[in-house]
Amino acid sequence: MSRRTQVSTGSPWEPIVGYSRAVRVGNQIEVAGTTAMKDGEVVGEGDAYAQTVHILEIIDAAIRELGGQLKDVVRTRMFVTDMSRWEEIGKAHGEAFGDIRPAATMVEVKALIDPRLLVEIEAQAILTEEE
């Protein structure tokens, strides 16, 4: 049986809702839907690019804490509140994953947990022994 390791970012919602920022089981890491929040405040309010950059930094940190790297990401799911801003979001995603090129999905949703949030991203990584 594979060991389970969890990472928390200290969000006040994690214990209330009962989730972890990321979970590693065996060689797989799943990162929960991540938004541009820091210390209870929205980072990059009104700026989809800045929010996406911040989200990807949080995801990167969680994956690293569990022994992986962004190069291990095989899938991302982007939830956006305004699809007309896809280029801003895509630009930030491309800067982080340009050579990695994970399978990616972007869908428009009606709303996120805070109306100031424009983007939420999930990620899945698979660690390999190859370097």
Per the CB < 8 A criterion, the answer to whether 93 and 76 are in contact is yes
Which residue range is the domain that position 36 belongs to? 4-126
- Three-class SS of 90-118: HHHHHHHHCCCCCEEEEEECCCCCCCCCC
Tens-digit pLDDT string for the chain (131 aa)? 679 999 998 888 788 999 999 999 999 999 999 999 998 899 999 999 999 999 999 999 999 999 999 999 999 999 999 999 999 999 999 999 999 999 999 999 999 999 999 999 999 999 987 54
Q: pTM of the prediction?
A: 0.94
In a domain, 131, yes or no: no
In a domain, 112, yes or no: yes
If one counts the domains in the chain, the total is 1
Q: What is the CATH number of the domain that holds 57?
A: 3.30.1330.40
| Residue 59 vs residues 1, 2, 43, 128: alpha-carbon distances, Å | 26, 22, 15, 18
